[in-house]
């Protein structure tokens, strides 16, 4: 880890100073768009061509701007190494294709991000990779699904998108045999230190809260150097590399990560608490509420409930449509983790191509609203939700 931060510094401080390997005297990171770098000698050329993850060779192998993002993520996750990708899905696909071959077995959480679920239901079967889906909130069920010698990967997501299921990471991390991977997009480092629970690889859609400004598309994994370098070797072939510009934007976003996440989580708790009192709302899912089914686990492994919540409207599909049309401050848009409060009604957006029974099996109700809480004043956010809810037929 190329890191000029002190190990005793707090994470907030490390986020300001991590990822400066190529900075020299400039405080702002330098953007390195070059795809290729001139070698000064045959010896140097040989060293770069045969080393894992060089910074200045050819940008599919690594580039200064991307390495600085990776350094920052490794620092924040307390990892030996990190590897960035062109998107969160690029990261997940590369991890699965690195560790699983035809005839292998993979255990996956049933309630994951919908495109991750498609990778397991559509791509894996075509490649002869056998997938067992489990309710990962039941760690015993995950353990029981592991086939010794056959299972290469256990893949969980916590909190899960969009239902906010929380998985006991210590119990999953204790599983021996397969590598364990957790998509922690909904709980970036100030909220959850995923690797500290024994999970082998933490993964993030950097696109969301880590970058945090809706202007960078990237994914990242972090963990022990051997594992990360194994994936690096495959990602060279898969080609889902992170662009320097997106890495540079993401690193700028990381500088304010702790302040943003703290503020957004505080507003999320205020909004969740308000929603629980409104008659039009049947149920609120937020790991920071005592009503959350895995509240005890969330308290153990998260410092707060995070920046995303979902709620179910009593009025079902019609109420879902009316609610998202009624908000004035919040905007209806996919993605999450940015400065603007965003709402999604999954049955008419991200899960629109699924049948209602398929949605139900994934825990997506017809009146479900997912909220990514932004940086606006909490009172304005709550007032906006109140006026839209008040307009729904009782």
Q: Which residues contribute to the site for ligand PLP (CB under 6 A)? A: 87-89, 113, 116, 157, 161, 183, 185, 205, 207-208, 217, 219
Residue with Cβ nearer ligand PLP (72 or 242) = 242
Q: How far is the CB of 219 from ligand PLP (least distance, A)?
A: 5
Nearer to ligand PLP by C-beta: 186 or 197? 186
How near is the Cβ of 47 to ligand PLP at its closest, in Å? 33
Kindly state the smallest distance separating residue 238's Cβ from ligand PLP, in Å: 14
For residue 159, whether the previous peptide bond is cis, meaning omega lies within 30 degrees of 0, is yes
Given the complex with ligand PLP, which of 219 and 346 has the nearer CB atom?
Answer: 219
- Neighbouring residues of 168: CB distance < 8 A, sequence distance ≥ 6: 137, 139, 294, 297, 301
Please name the residue that has the structure tokens 């662009």. 243
Q: In the complex, what is the shortest distance from the CB of residue 201 to ligand PLP, in angstroms, rounded to a whole number?
A: 14
DSSP designation for 36: B
Q: Which is nearer to ligand PLP, 59 or 161 (CB)?
A: 161
> Please, are residues 245 and 235 in contact by the beta-carbon 8 Å criterion?
no
CB of 74 to ligand PLP, least distance (A): 19
Burial degree of 130 (CB within 10 A; 0-12, 13-18, 19+): middle
The CB-of-362 to ligand PLP minimum distance in angstroms stands at 13
Give whichever of 55 and 244 is closer to ligand PLP, judged by the CB atom.
244
385, containing H or E segment: helix 378-390
In this structure, what DSSP letter does residue 348 have?
Answer: G
Closest to ligand PLP by CB, 108 vs 280, is 108
CB of 301 to ligand PLP, least distance (A): 16
Q: Could you tell me if 211 and 184 are in contact, meaning their C-beta atoms sit under 8 angstroms apart?
A: no
Of 161 and 243, the one with the shorter C-beta distance to ligand PLP is: 161
Secondary structure (DSSP) of 139-207: HHHHHHH--TTTEEEEEEESSPTTT-----HHHHHT--SSEEEEE-TTS-TTT--GGGGT-SEEEEETT
Cα 122 to the chain's mean position, in Å?
A: 21
- Toward ligand PLP, which CB reaches closer, 99 or 113? 113
- Three-class secondary structure of residue 110 per DSSP: coil
Residue for token pair 């990190």: 82
Q: Give the start-end residues of each E strand in the chain.
A: 81-85, 105-109, 130-134, 151-157, 179-183, 201-205, 219-223, 281-285, 308-313, 331-332, 342-344, 368-372
Closest separation between CB of residue 19 and ligand PLP, Å? 19
């Amino acid at each position: 880890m190329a890191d000029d931060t002190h190990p005793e510094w707090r994470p907030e401080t490390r986020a300001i100073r991590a990822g400066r390997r190529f900075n020299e005297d400039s405080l702002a990171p330098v953007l390195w768009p070059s795809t290729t770098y001139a070698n000064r000698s045959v010896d140097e050329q040989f060293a770069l061509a045969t080393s894992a993850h060089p910074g200045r060779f050819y940008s599919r192998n690594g580039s200064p701007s991307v390495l600085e993002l990776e350094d920052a993520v490794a620092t924040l996750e307390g990892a030996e190494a990190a590897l960035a990708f062109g998107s969160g899905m690029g990261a997940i696909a590369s991890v699965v294709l690195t560790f699983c071959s035809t005839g292998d077995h993979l255990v996956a959480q049933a309630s994951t991000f919908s495109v991750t679920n498609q990778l397991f239901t559509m791509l894996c079967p075509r490649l002869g990779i056998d997938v067992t889906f489990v309710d990962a909130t039941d760690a015993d069920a995950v353990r029981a699904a592991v086939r010794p010698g056959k299972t290469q990967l256990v893949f969980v997501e916590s909190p899960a998108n969009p239902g906010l299921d929380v998985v006991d990471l210590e119990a999953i991390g204790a599983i021996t045999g397969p590598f364990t991977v957790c998509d922690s997009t909904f709980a970036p480092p100030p909220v959850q230190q995923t690797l500290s629970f024994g999970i082998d690889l933490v993964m993030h859609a950097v696109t969301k809260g880590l970058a945090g400004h809706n202007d960078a598309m990237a994914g990242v994994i972090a963990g022990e150097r051997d594992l990360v370098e194994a994936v690096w070797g495959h990602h060279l072939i898969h080609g889902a590399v992170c662009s320097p510009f997106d890495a540079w934007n993401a690193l700028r976003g990381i500088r304010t990560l702790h302040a943003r996440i703290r503020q957004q989580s505080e507003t999320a708790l205020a909004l969740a608490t308000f929603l629980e009192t409104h008659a039009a709302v049947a149920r609120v899912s937020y790991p920071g509420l005592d009503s959350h089914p895995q509240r005890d686990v969330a308290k153990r492994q998260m410092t707060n409930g995070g920046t995303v919540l979902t709620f179910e409207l009593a009025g079902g599909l019609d109420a879902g449509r009316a609610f998202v049309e009624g908000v004035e401050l919040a905007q209806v848009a996919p993605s999450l983790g940015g400065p603007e409060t965003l709402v999604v009604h999954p049955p008419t957006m991200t899960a629109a191509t699924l049948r209602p029974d398929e949605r139900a099996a994934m825990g997506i109700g017809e009146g479900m609203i997912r909220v990514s809480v932004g940086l606006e004043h909490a009172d304005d956010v709550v007032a906006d939700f109140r006026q839209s809810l008040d307009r729904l037929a009782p």
